[in-house]
A and B are shown apart, each in its own frame.
Chain A
Amino acid sequence: MPYDPRLVAPMRDEMVRMGAKELKTVAEVDETLGDPKGTTLVFVNSVCGCAAGNARPALAQALKHTIRPQQIVTVFAGQDLDATARARQYFSDYQPSSPSMALLRDGEVVHFIHRHQIEGQSPQTVAANLTTAFDKFCGATV
């Protein structure tokens, strides 16, 4: 059962403040991820304090990097159930976990951060994981 929307609102707002586009419906997911051109980071948000409480600040920090994906989108696991399920179909080789992050380039998953890679890590460590991937996959193509 989803949490009270009032409880998760700050967690949504945190994503929006860092420039992420919220995808709340299947149609919104398909409209955004259905066009596979370019680089997109999909952040699967979660209420889990021990992991998501680090993942969101980690992403915020990583997005200050000079090289970054062309678009940042987010779905909220346990809240926007259909949208989250749909988004996961775009990286279906990977088992669902939340929070997690998928970096897509031209529709292909090029980097994935599972929940277990976030648990117990500092935001700085997770951010470094992200920026390394940004450098590798989001730079100018030759």
Chain B
Amino acid sequence: MSGHVFHQGHHALHGVTVVLETTGPRTYVGRFDTQDESGVHLLDVAVHDGGDPALSRGEFLRRTLKFGVRAERKHLLVPSGEVSSLVPLSAVDG
């Protein structure tokens, strides 16, 4: 069963924990599910609001890397026009 893949036929990022930067103040970290005409669908999503004076984006990402994704939203749809960047969390430097 080693290497058995349940996700064949999906987007390359399906099932991967990603950091999605928006064109606005928000940053999302969650499991990429799919992308369609409506936008990017994330699952089990942590949310950072750039307007939060108590927690910088950098600290939010450091905590997430160390302690994991604090899922605040079970499912989130980010419209394509609001996506600024999308990278695997594992590619982010803590």
Docked-complex contact A95 and B16, CB < 8 angstroms = no
Shortest distance between the CB of A8 and any CB in chain B (Å):
9
Q: Does B84 contact A (CB under 8 A)?
A: no
A120 to B12, CA, bound (A): 10
Across the interface, do B67 and A119 meet the contact criterion of CB distance under 8 Å? no
Beta-carbon contact of B16 and A97 below 8 Å: no
Sort chain B's interface into a size bin: 20 to 34
The answer, yes or no, to whether B73 is at the interface (CB within 8 Å) is: no
A95 and B63 CA atoms in complex are apart in Å by 11
Q: Is the interface of B mostly helix, strand, loop or mixed?
A: loop
- B5 at interface (Cβ–Cβ under 8 A)? yes
Task: Determine if B5 and A50 form an interchain contact, defined as CB atoms under 8 angstroms apart.
Answer: yes
Categorize the interface residue count of chain A. Answer: 20 to 34
Q: Answer whether A50 and B15 are a contact pair too, CB < 8 Å, given A93-B67, A117-B90.
A: yes
1/0 per position for B1-23, CB-CB distance to A under 8 A?
A: 11111110000001111000000
The answer for the CA separation of A121 and B90 in the assembled complex, in Å, is: 9
B2, B5, B17 — which one has the most chain A CB atoms within 10 A of its CB?
Answer: B2
Task: Knowing that A10-B1, A95-B69, A97-B69 touch, tell me 11 more A-B residue pairs with CB under 8 angstroms.
Answer: A14-B2, A48-B6, A48-B15, A56-B1, A57-B3, A94-B68, A95-B70, A116-B16, A116-B89, A119-B17, A119-B90
Point out residues on A near B: beta carbons under 8 Å.
Answer: 10-11, 13-14, 47-51, 53-54, 56-57, 93-97, 100, 112, 114-117, 119-121
